[in-house]
């Protein structure tokens, strides 16, 4: 096993640990932003994963995947963030309504 | 490795079937996304798996160098993903519309098209 | 149709009414012109190859039996059409009526002339449809619709059995041509399918000719206008069954089954029907039941094979058609002029309606069997025929005698009392004589009955002998029609009949309540029909409620259960299990991927938080994309990630408006979980088994070799998409467009204001 | 969304994404990419636009109704397939024209296959936008 | 000319694009009519070629089979395409009045024509994955058509329709993957050849069952038909008519194609199951109809029960039985589409399709009565209408191989069909209108009358023609059955390149 292999293996392991931790955060929550951030973290991990895959197979094609994901990956996060924002606004509105009753 | 994929597909199918059987049609949508992934993986795995060799032809060569992954299932999966997205988008909009029209996401309460016999006059 | 045109028109309906009469008369004339040849023993056959690919020809055979029927149908048809032209003058739906009645007559003619089983069946069903439309002529009333449906359903059911019987017969005998089949009677009788064929055909004929226990539709069919009843009950509809039994007689009779079935059913129907007939006060109903009696008698004779019985059959067939048509038309005249058909109300019409009374009298005397009418000859022959029965002749003779006596009484009730009895009850309308087109029918038919009685040879040569020849194959067996056959057993029985009949007639008013009780005690088939319909409907509703309850979850459950049975069941039944898979090449990276995807999937299934479910879906999508990356599918991986992103975006937008997942707390569904697990397991097993088989990579190799040199692309996946399998891609983008259009339409369909 | 940063950034990012999507489209025949991927990336640009600045702005920026883009794309793809008829070939047979062709180098290829892929791009682009815009407007 | 096969496939899409881009004017709808008229001409041309050559095939993109996608037409495909074109033309004329401007602007004509394109594609393709694509095209456009209008019952029915069909779609897709994994090919003719050499034949049967379920949902057989009665009574009448006529038939077609061409190795198992399915489908469908009280619901359940007959023809698997199935397909499309169109006119004149709320059509709309009577009694199997021959051939086929039970079921179901048809007849036509109205066709504008009645009359005339001179149709069906039972010509034509 060359040094490169070892590093790669370590890299993959770290990515998976990162993804795993994000998954736990995602499952546990408890708040909505926690989950959104966890998903975003996962997306970033995949970009790293693609990079590692490109290095291992010595094929630039996987870098394209990383590139695309890096470009659009935040879109999901943005959409979820907006959702979180609206939900908070709505909940406050509901609470106000309850207060006024 | 194919065996492991097969097990994964089994898990995906089982969870999606469970989701699809739920009362809330939104869960059906989630199940639909999962089971589409499972179907795509079935096609992908049926073409057998190759690690680290995308089906690309390097410049200067007339064909791929060395053993590359099976390109045909990839094309099929690509098609299937896009079709699946179309179906998903429609189904989601349908559920969305169902909620705004029928006021519920619970399929048990959706009885407009087939009213209970005792409801009939 | 214009309702203002209902004003009664004494001359009928003009050409619309007269053209059908002309058609019927032309046909009658043509058949009459064939009579001498047929009487000489010839037969005429016309063949038109209709559906050669199924061996079905439209072939027609004119022999004694079919000619007799054809003459009755077209002759009585002409008179009935003439009659109804006046009877229904100015009726807004007369044109339809004339069309239906003419079609019915033509269908009936086709039926008796057809020489091909399927051709015969086609006409058989045509009579069913047209009679449905005729009986339903009074469609404004529930009763009219009910009667029409009942007739259609009962005869339709029989017809389907008949069709099965015909197909079976055709296949068994290797031909659908009746003349060919009947020529091999011995083969047919010895055939292993003889019994099923017989049962199926008799099911058809018994329903059509209203034999017990299928008799109940016939009296209800009286809902039709009176001329229709006259036609249906004299020469046509119900006689179709009799005709078919007669037609099959040479090929199928002579066996014990045939004998006992027909004899018993016929005898029972005859007695049963005449009891019911005596009970009726509505003239038309009474006549309807006597029709049943006649049909029973005819069936009874067809059970036999003796020359006497066949002669009796042929004669009584003609006799009955003549007097029954006449009497129905008479009742129509009475109804038309007085507005009622109640026997107890009517009386003293003789003076106001002398011609009608004359016709009624003649017909009734024929019906009652007085000499010198044809009815007398018929009755004598009937007794002679019944005494020729091989076994138990006296039992059947007694039955027949009872029936005849009852018929005698009914003849009196129908044809004597309304004209000559005095009643104190006022009639709804002042009686007056009917116009001549309505009198022509009854008079001609009744006079014919008398004429043939005086000159029986006429009938014998022209119709009876050829008919008997068709039935028995030779003319020698036909017995002579005679008014005076000497002092013998039939004569004695005739005398007893008249005596008994007279007693019954005089005492029928006192008998009626007793008969009523007797009949009411027996099963009520007509009520049974309603119960049957109700049961059918509630059974249908019950099963539909179970199968189609309108609850989506049950549908999905049933669908997945079917999937499980299809997959798992077949795997076990067909022993397609995979061997234990090879797991040696598994790396930790792979395991991590699998765990990630599975965890995401399970989290999606179990969480009750919308956002967690959505994020978990994202996890699964990402995991699947990682599989695509690991196994060298960059294009697919990019697409998967992009689609996954868009899915999350769309769901996030949608969720802004949608409620939380479980308003009533989380749901645990063990049964669903078991089903889901089982399906997941079978999918895994099937896939494992598939992955064990070697894969033929011809297609992929071809693509690899030709991608650059012939399709000028280095990305094989893309080349497959846009060149090798461009049609798939085209269909796919059509799906995408349509999905977008549909989703757009769905969102905008009731919000026109927002359309940009 | 009430984020100035996002709103300002989106203007540039959207253009960048569309540009990038066209790049993916053109190179798709030889490298990972193609009409699907291009269309998806291009649409994400405008989806982002719609999320950040609202659909009205996004529709204005787009000028053409997305459904028409999608249907037009379908038409282009179809015509690219039918084009083969003029050369007596079967439906969807690729027709190639190489500009500046030399024995070693094929030069710049113009082909019906490329037009087909452009059709695919437009369909995906237009379809996704019509769904997302319509959904957005329902909120 | 290689375009004989491609033209009928391309035309609907071209029509759809043009009709969509012109959707805000009146030209869109005429594009649709004209496009479908040309489609009919093209399909007649196709039929002529098929009759001349038996089987014709052409390779899309010029790539030889099994590498590219093959379009192939045998007798069955050709006749299905022609019937599709006829139905499409009839419905597009009917839609001139039936579909309002709002629905047109939302893209009705595009959805409709792409649906037709999907149907034609499914009939013509010789490639399994391509068949999946056309199924999807059909499915998604049917979704769109179903909910066009946005009524509550449409949304509700749509959910059931969509969910259950999506399950079938996924099953179909997975099945393709598995078949590819075993045979390495997607071309159906090639697959028919390759599948015999698969070692694990039991597995082939398992996958066959998967396809049976997937197509079974599409074809609406027992116990998978729930979506059909839940949804078919909700959309516009033009839409129900084309659904009723065509959609389930594509499922039946796919079943026939796959279970004669590819999955013919374990007939004793698969076709026995199909026989049971057929019997139960017939019975449950017809009983479901007996329980309904709305014209369209009755007709919907009858689709289910009639599908049973077609499956019965496939399951019996004799030349005569398959001929019966083919004949039944043709007959049923014409008749059932027409009945739905007539239901539309009944609603326009009498005010509803609920039998309790209408009546009097016999008295005041005799023309409509005649036009209803023909397909209704044809459906009930009365001779000499087309339905009689369809039923006759199937029953004869069952009796021929001594399938007593299935023959009895077929006949009994025929009887109950009479019951339903006469129910509509008695309630909608004979019964006086409950509110005393006289629903007459003269209530419609002359233009609407033309648009609505011409297609109905044309389809009724077809029913009569098939009924009175069934011989060419039966001969054709027999030839088609012979081709199905001996697919050698099909396989060699597809794999042997250009015919």
Q: Is C314 found in the same domain as C430?
A: yes
pLDDT the model gives residue E313: 94
CA pair distance B30, B15, nearest whole angstrom: 10
Q: What is the pLDDT tens value at each position of chain E, 499 positions in all?
A: 578 888 999 999 999 999 998 888 888 889 999 999 999 999 999 999 999 988 999 888 888 888 889 999 999 999 999 999 999 999 999 999 888 888 888 889 999 999 999 999 999 999 999 999 999 999 999 999 998 888 888 888 889 999 999 999 999 999 999 999 999 999 999 999 888 888 888 899 999 999 999 999 999 998 899 899 888 888 999 999 999 989 999 999 999 999 999 998 888 889 999 999 999 999 999 999 988 889 999 999 999 999 999 999 999 999 999 999 999 999 999 999 999 999 999 998 888 888 888 888 888 888 999 999 999 999 998 888 999 999 999 999 999 898 899 999 999 999 999 988 999 999 888 888 888 888 888 888 888 889 999 999 999 999 999 999 999 999 999 999 999 999 988 999 888 744 3
Task: Give the Å distances, CA to CA, from C508 to C276, C278, C369.
Answer: 12, 7, 19
Q: Does B66 touch chain A (CB under 8 A)?
A: no
Query: Shortest CB distance from B99 goes to which of C549, C657, C705?
Result: C657
pLDDT the model gives residue C481: 74
pLDDT the model gives residue C424: 61
Residue C631 lies in a domain: yes
Dihedral, CA of residue C98, residue C100, residue C101 and residue C104, to nearest 10? 150
Mean pLDDT of chain E: 91
Q: Which structural domains are found in chain B, ordered by start?
A: 2-50+70-106 (1.10.287.3510)
Report CB contact under 8 Å: B52, A59. yes
Q: Which residues of D touch B (CB under 8 A)?
A: 30-32, 36, 124, 127-128, 131, 134-135, 138
The subunits that touch chain D, with at least 3 C-beta pairs less than 8 Å apart, are A, B, C, E
E330-355 core/surface letters (b: 16 or more CB in 10 A; e: else): bbbbbbbbbbbbbbbbbbbbbeebbb
In eight-state DSSP terms, residue B59 is T
Ranges under pLDDT 50 in chain C: 1-9, 751-756
Q: Which residues of B touch A53 (CB under 8 A)?
A: 52
CA pair distance B71, E43, nearest whole angstrom: 35
Of C222, C245, C217, the closest CA to residue C152 belongs to: C217
Task: Give the Å distances, CA to CA, from E336 to E220, E296, E328.
Answer: 15, 11, 11
Of C420, C409, C382, the closest CA to residue C515 belongs to: C409
Give yes or no for a contact between E35 and E7, defined as CB atoms under 8 angstroms apart.
no
Q: Does B56 touch chain A (CB under 8 A)?
A: yes
Residue C136 lies in a domain: no
Of E251, E267, E128, the closest CA to residue E191 belongs to: E128
Q: Is C584 found in the same domain as C496?
A: no
Chain A nearest C-alpha distance from D16 (Å): 9
Other C-beta atoms within 10 Å of C536: how many? 15
Alpha-carbon torsion (A75, A80, A85, A87), positive or negative: positive
Residue B74: both structure tokens together: 């990839």
The DSSP string of D54-75 is: -HHHHHHHH-S-HHHHHHHHHH
pLDDT at D99 exceeding the cut of 70: yes
The helix/strand/coil state of D88 is coil
Q: Is C501 found in the same domain as C586?
A: no
Q: Which residues of B touch A62 (CB under 8 A)?
A: 54
Give yes or no for a contact between C708 and C698, defined as CB atoms under 8 angstroms apart.
no
Of C171, C71, C72, C177, the closest CA to residue C114 belongs to: C177
Write the ipTM: 0.94
Give yes or no for a contact between B73 and B43, defined as CB atoms under 8 angstroms apart.
yes
Chain D nearest C-alpha distance from A82 (Å): 6
Mutate to test the interface with D, among B89, B97, B98, B100 (most CBs of D within 10 A): B89
Q: Which residues of D touch A82 (CB under 8 A)?
A: 1, 51
Give yes or no for a contact between D83 and D95, defined as CB atoms under 8 angstroms apart.
yes
Radius of gyration over alpha carbons of chain E, in Å?
A: 21
Residue C627 lies in a domain: yes
Q: Which residues of B touch D (CB under 8 A)?
A: 54, 56, 78, 82, 86, 89, 93, 96, 100
Report CB contact under 8 Å: C638, A65. yes
Give yes or no for a contact between E395 and C163, defined as CB atoms under 8 angstroms apart.
yes
Residue C33: both structure tokens together: 């012109």
Report CB contact under 8 Å: E156, B38. no
Spatial CB neighbours of E330, under 8 Å, sequence gap ≥ 6: E79, E83, E466, E473, E477
**How many domains in chain C?**
2
Report CB contact under 8 Å: C700, B71. yes
Nearest-CA residue of chain D relative to C756?
D65
Q: Which residues of A touch C638 (CB under 8 A)?
A: 64-65, 68-69
Spatial CB neighbours of C218, under 8 Å, sequence gap ≥ 6: C151, C210, C233, C238, C288, C291, C292
Q: Structural domain of residue C611, as residue ranges?
A: 579-661
pLDDT the model gives residue B51: 84
Query: For chain A, give me the number of helices (H) and strands (E)?
Result: 3, 0
Angle at E232 between CA E231 and CA E234, to 5 degrees: 70
Alpha-carbon torsion (C626, C631, C634, C635), positive or negative: negative
Other C-beta atoms within 10 Å of C491: how many? 15
Chain C nearest C-alpha distance from B23 (Å): 7
pLDDT at B118 exceeding the cut of 50: no
Spatial CB neighbours of E339, under 8 Å, sequence gap ≥ 6: E244, E299, E372, E375, E376, E379
Chain A nearest C-alpha distance from D114 (Å): 21
Which of C472, C506, C540 finishes a domain?
C506
Residue C94: both structure tokens together: 């007369």
Residue D38: both structure tokens together: 């291009």
Query: Shortest CB distance from E152 goes to which of B46, B73, B112?
Result: B112
pLDDT the model gives residue C4: 32
Q: Does B55 touch chain C (CB under 8 A)?
A: yes
What's the rounded mean pLDDT across residues D57-72? 90
Report CB contact under 8 Å: A61, B51. no
pLDDT the model gives residue E457: 94
Angle at C161 between CA C155 and CA C162, to 5 degrees: 80
Residue B93: both structure tokens together: 């909009």
pLDDT the model gives residue E36: 94
Chain B nearest C-alpha distance from A57 (Å): 5
Spatial CB neighbours of B22, under 8 Å, sequence gap ≥ 6: B28, B31, C553, C667, C669, C672
Q: Is C382 found in the same domain as C287?
A: yes
pLDDT the model gives residue E222: 86
Element (H, E) at C57: strand C56-62
Q: Is C592 found in the same domain as C495?
A: no
Report CB contact under 8 Å: E202, C575. yes
Residue C413 lies in a domain: yes
With touching defined as 3+ CB pairs under 8 A, do chains B and D touch?
yes
Task: For residue A30, say if its preceding peptide bond is cis, omega within 30 degrees of 0.
Answer: yes
Please list the residues that pair with D97 across neighbouring strands. D110
Task: For residue C213, say if its preceding peptide bond is cis, omega within 30 degrees of 0.
Answer: yes
Q: Which CATH number fits domain A3-100: 1.10.357, 2.60.40, 3.40.50, 1.10.287?
A: 1.10.287
Q: Cα C223 vs. chain centroid, distance in angstroms?
A: 19
Element (H, E) at C247: helix C237-252
C11-40 core/surface letters (b: 16 or more CB in 10 A; e: else): ebbeeebbebbebbbebbeebeebbeebbe
Other C-beta atoms within 10 Å of E272: how many? 13
Residue C353 lies in a domain: yes
CA pair distance E407, E396, nearest whole angstrom: 8
- Length of chain B measured in residues: 121
CA pair distance E390, E88, nearest whole angstrom: 22
pLDDT the model gives residue C314: 87
Give yes or no for a contact between E135 and E122, defined as CB atoms under 8 angstroms apart.
yes
Q: Which of A54-68, C383-397, C430-444, D46-60 has the lowest mean pLDDT?
A: C383-397
Spatial CB neighbours of E438, under 8 Å, sequence gap ≥ 6: E360, E363, E364
Of C60, C2, C50, C53, the closest CA to residue C27 belongs to: C60
Q: Give the B:E interface size as CB pairs under 8 Å.
A: 103
pLDDT the model gives residue C8: 42
Chain E nearest C-alpha distance from D8 (Å): 34
Please list the residues that pair with C47 across neighbouring strands. C59
Q: Which residues of E touch D67 (CB under 8 A)?
A: 20, 107
pLDDT the model gives residue C425: 65
The DSSP string of A60-99 is: THHHHHHHHHHHHHHHHHHHHHHHHHHHHHHHHHHHHHHH
Task: For residue E483, say if its preceding peptide bond is cis, omega within 30 degrees of 0.
Answer: no
Angle at C229 between CA C224 and CA C234, to 5 degrees: 160
The subunits that touch chain C, with at least 3 C-beta pairs less than 8 Å apart, are A, B, D, E
Domain edges within chain A? 3-100
Query: Residue A62 half-sphere exposure, CB side, CA atoms within 13 Å?
Result: 27
C342: phi then psi, degrees, rounded to nearest 5: -80, 125
Residue C414 lies in a domain: yes
Of E447, E487, E450, the closest CA to residue E191 belongs to: E487
Please list the residues that pair with C114 across neighbouring strands. C60
CA pair distance C629, C175, nearest whole angstrom: 70
Q: Where are the beta strands (DSSP E) in B50-121?
A: none
């Amino acid at each position: 096993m060359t040094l490169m292999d070892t590093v790669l293996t370590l890299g993959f392991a770290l990515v998976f640990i990162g993804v795993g931790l994000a998954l736990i955060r995602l499952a546990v929550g408890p708040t909505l932003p926690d989950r959104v951030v966890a998903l975003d973290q996962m997306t970033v991990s995949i970009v790293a994963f693609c990079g590692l895959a490109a290095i291992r197979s010595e094929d630039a094609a996987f870098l394209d995947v990383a590139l695309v994901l890096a470009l659009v990956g935040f879109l999901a996060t943005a959409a979820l963030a907006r959702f979180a924002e609206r939900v908070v606004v709505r909940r406050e509105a509901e609470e106000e309504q309850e207060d006024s009753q | 490795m194919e065996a492991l994929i097969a097990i994964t597909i089994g898990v995906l199918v089982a969870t999606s079937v469970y989701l699809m059987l739920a009362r809330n049609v939104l869960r059906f949508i989630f199940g639909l996304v999962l089971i589409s992934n499972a179907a795509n993986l079935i096609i992908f795995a049926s073409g057998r798996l190759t690690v680290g060799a995308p089906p690309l032809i390097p410049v200067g060569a007339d064909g791929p160098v060395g053993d590359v992954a099976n390109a045909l299932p990839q094309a099929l999966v690509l098609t299937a993903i896009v079709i699946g997205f179309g179906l998903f988008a429609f189904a989601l909009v349908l559920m969305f519309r169902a909620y705004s029209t029928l006021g519920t996401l619970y399929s048990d309460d959706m009885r407009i098209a087939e009213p209970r016999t005792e409801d009939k006059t | 149709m214009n309702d203002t045109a209902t004003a009664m028109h004494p001359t009928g309906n003009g050409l619309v009414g007269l053209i059908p009469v002309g058609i019927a008369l032309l046909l009658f004339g043509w058949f009459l012109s064939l009579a001498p040849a047929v009487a000489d023993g010839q037969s005429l056959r016309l063949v038109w190859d209709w559906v050669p690919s199924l061996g079905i020809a439209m072939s027609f055979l004119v022999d004694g039996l079919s000619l007799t029927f054809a003459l009755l149908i077209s002759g009585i048809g002409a008179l009935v059409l003439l009659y109804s032209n006046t009877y229904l003058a100015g009726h807004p739906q007369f044109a339809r009526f004339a069309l239906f009645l003419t079609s019915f007559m033509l269908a009936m003619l086709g039926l008796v002339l057809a020489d091909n089983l399927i051709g015969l069946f086609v006409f058989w069903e045509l009579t069913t449809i047209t009679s449905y439309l005729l009986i339903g002529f009074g469609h404004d009333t529930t009763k009219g619709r009910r009667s029409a449906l009942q007739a259609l359903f009962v005869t339709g059911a029989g017809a389907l059995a008949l069709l099965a019987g015909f197909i079976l017969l055709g296949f068994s005998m290797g031909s659908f041509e009746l003349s060919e089949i009947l020529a091999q009677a011995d083969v047919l009788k010895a055939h292993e399918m003889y019994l099923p064929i017989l049962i199926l055909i008799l099911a058809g004929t018994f329903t059509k000719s209203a034999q017990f226990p299928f008799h109940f539709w016939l009296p209800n069919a009286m809902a039709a206008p009176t001329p229709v009843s006259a036609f249906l009950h004299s020469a046509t509809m119900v006689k179709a069954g009799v005709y078919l039994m007669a037609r099959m007689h040479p090929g199928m009779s002579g066996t014990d089954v045939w004998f006992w079935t027909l004899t018993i059913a016929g005898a029972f129907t005859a007695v049963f029907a005449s009891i019911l007939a005596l009970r009726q006060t509505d003239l038309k109903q009474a006549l309807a039941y006597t029709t049943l009696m006649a049909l029973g008698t005819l069936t009874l004779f067809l059970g036999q094979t003796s020359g006497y019985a066949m002669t009796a059959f042929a004669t009584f067939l003609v006799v009955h058609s003549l007097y029954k048509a006449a009497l129905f038309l008479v009742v129509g005249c009475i109804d038309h002029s007085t507005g009622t058909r109640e026997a107890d109300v009517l009386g003293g019409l003789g003076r106001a309606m002398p011609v009608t009374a004359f016709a009624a009298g003649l017909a009734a005397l024929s019906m009652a069997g007085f000499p010198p009418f044809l009815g007398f000859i018929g009755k004598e022959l009937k007794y002679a025929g019944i005494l020729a029965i091989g076994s138990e002749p006296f039992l059947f003779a007694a039955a027949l005698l009872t029936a005849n006596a009852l018929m005698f009484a009914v003849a009196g009730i129908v044809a004597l009392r309304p004209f000559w009895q005095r009643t104190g009850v006022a009639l709804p309308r002042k009686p007056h004589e009917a116009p001549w087109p309505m009198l022509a029918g009854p008079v001609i038919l009744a006079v014919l009955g008398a004429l043939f009685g005086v000159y029986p040879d006429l009938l014998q040569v022209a119709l009876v002998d050829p008919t008997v020849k068709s039935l028995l194959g030779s003319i020698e067996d036909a017995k002579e029609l005679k008014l005076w056959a000497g002092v013998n057993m039939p004569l004695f029985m005739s005398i007893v009949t008249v005596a008994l009949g007279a007693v019954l007639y005089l005492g029928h008013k006192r008998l009626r309540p007793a008969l009523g009780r007797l009949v009411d005690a027996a099963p009520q088939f007509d009520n049974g029909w309603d119960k049957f319909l109700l049961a059918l409907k509630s059974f249908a509703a019950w099963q539909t409620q179970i199968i189609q309850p309108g609850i989506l979850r049950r549908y999905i459950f049933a669908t997945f259960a079917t999937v499980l049975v299809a997959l798992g069941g077949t795997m076990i039944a067909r022993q397609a299990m995979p061997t234990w898979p090879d797991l040696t090449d598994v790396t930790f990276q792979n395991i991590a991927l699998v765990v990630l995807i599975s965890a995401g999937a399970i989290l999606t299934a179990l969480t009750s938080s919308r956002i967690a479910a959505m994020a978990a879906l994202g996890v699964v999508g990402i995991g699947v994309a990682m599989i695509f990356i690991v196994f060298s599918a960059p294009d697919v991986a990019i697409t998967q990630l992009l689609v996954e992103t868009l899915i999350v975006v769309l769901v996030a937008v949608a969720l802004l408006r949608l409620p939380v997942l479980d308003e009533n707390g989380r749901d645990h569904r063990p049964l669903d979980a078991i089903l889901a697990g089982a399906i997941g397991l079978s999918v895994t097993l099937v896939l494992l088994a598939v992955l064990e088989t070697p894969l033929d990579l011809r297609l992929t190799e071809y693509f690899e070799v030709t991608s650059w040199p012939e399709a000028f692309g280095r990305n094989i996946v893309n080349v497959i998409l846009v060149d090798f399998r461009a049609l798939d891609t085209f269909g796919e983008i059509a799906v995408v467009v349509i999905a977008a259009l549909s989703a757009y339409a769905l969102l905008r369909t009731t919000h026109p204001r927002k359309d940009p | 969304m009430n984020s100035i940063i996002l709103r300002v950034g989106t203007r540039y990012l959207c253009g960048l994404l569309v540009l990038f999507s066209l790049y993916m489209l053109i190179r798709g025949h030889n490298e990972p990419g193609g009409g699907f991927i291009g269309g998806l990336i291009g649409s994400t640009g405008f989806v982002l636009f719609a999320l950040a600045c609202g659909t009205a702005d996004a529709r204005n920026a787009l000028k053409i109704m997305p459904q028409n883009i999608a249907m037009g794309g379908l038409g282009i793809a179809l015509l690219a397939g039918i084009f083969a008829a003029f050369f007596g070939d079967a439906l969807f047979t690729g027709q190639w024209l190489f500009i500046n062709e030399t024995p070693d180098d094929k030069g710049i290829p113009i082909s019906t296959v490329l037009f087909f892929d452009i059709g695919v791009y437009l369909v995906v682009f237009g379809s996704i936008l019509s769904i997302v815009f319509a959904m957005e407007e329902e909120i | 000319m290689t375009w004989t096969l491609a033209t009928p496939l391309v035309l609907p899409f071209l029509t759809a694009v043009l009709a969509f881009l012109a959707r805000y004017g009146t030209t869109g709808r005429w594009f649709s009519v004209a496009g479908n008229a040309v489609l009919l001409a093209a399909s007649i041309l196709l039929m002529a070629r098929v009759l001349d050559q038996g089987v014709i095939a052409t390779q899309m993109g010029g790539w030889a089979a099994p590498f590219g996608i093959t379009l192939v037409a045998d007798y069955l495909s050709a006749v299905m395409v022609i019937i599709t074109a006829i139905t499409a033309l009839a419905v597009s004329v009917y839609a001139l009045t039936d579909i309002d401007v709002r629905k047109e602007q939302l893209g009705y004509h595009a959805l409709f024509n792409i649906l037709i394109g999907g149907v034609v594609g499914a009939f013509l393709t010789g490639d399994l994955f391509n068949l999946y694509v056309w199924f999807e095209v059909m499915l998604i456009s049917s979704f769109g058509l179903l909910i066009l209008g946005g009524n509550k019952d449409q949304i509700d029915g749509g959910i059931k329709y969509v969910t259950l069909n999506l399950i079938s779609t996924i099953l179909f897709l997975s099945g393709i993957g598995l078949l590819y994994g075993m045979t390495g090919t997607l071309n159906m003719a090639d697959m028919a050849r390759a599948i015999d050499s698969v070692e694990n034949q039991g597995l082939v049967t398992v996958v066959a069952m998967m396809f049976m379920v997937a197509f079974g949902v599409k074809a609406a057989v027992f116990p998978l038909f729930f979506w059909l009665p839940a949804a078919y009574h909700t959309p516009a009448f033009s839409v129900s008519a084309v659904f009723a006529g065509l959609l389930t038939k594509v499922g039946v077609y796919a079943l026939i194609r796959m279970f004669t061409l590819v999955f013919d190795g374990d007939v004793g198992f698969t076709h026995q199951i199909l026989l049971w399915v057929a019997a139960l489908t017939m019975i449950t469908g017809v009983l479901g109809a007996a329980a309904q009280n709305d014209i369209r619901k009755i007709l919907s359940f009858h689709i289910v029960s009639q599908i049973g007959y077609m499956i019965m023809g496939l399951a019996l698997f004799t030349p005569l039985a398959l001929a019966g199935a083919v004949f039944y397909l043709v007959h049923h499309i014409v008749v059932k589409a027409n009945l739905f169109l007539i239901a539309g006119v009944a609603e326009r004149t009498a005010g509803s399709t609920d039998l309790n709320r209408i009546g009097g059509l016999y008295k005041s709309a005799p023309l409509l009565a005649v036009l209803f009577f023909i397909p209704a009694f044809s459906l009930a199997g009365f001779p000499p209408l087309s339905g009689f021959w369809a039923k006759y051939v199937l029953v004869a086929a069952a009796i021929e191989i001594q399938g007593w039970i299935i023959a009895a079921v077929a006949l009994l179901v025929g009887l109950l069909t009479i019951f339903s048809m006469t129910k509509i007849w008695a309630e909608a036509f004979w019964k006086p209108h409950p509110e005393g109205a006289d629903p007459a066709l003269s209530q419609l504008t002359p233009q609407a009358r033309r648009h609505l009645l011409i297609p109905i009359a044309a389809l009724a005339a077809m029913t009569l023609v098939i009924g009175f001179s069934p011989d060419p149709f039966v001969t054709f069906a027999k030839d088609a059955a012979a081709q199905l039972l001996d697919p050698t010509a099909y396989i060699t034509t597809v794999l042997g390149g250009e015919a």
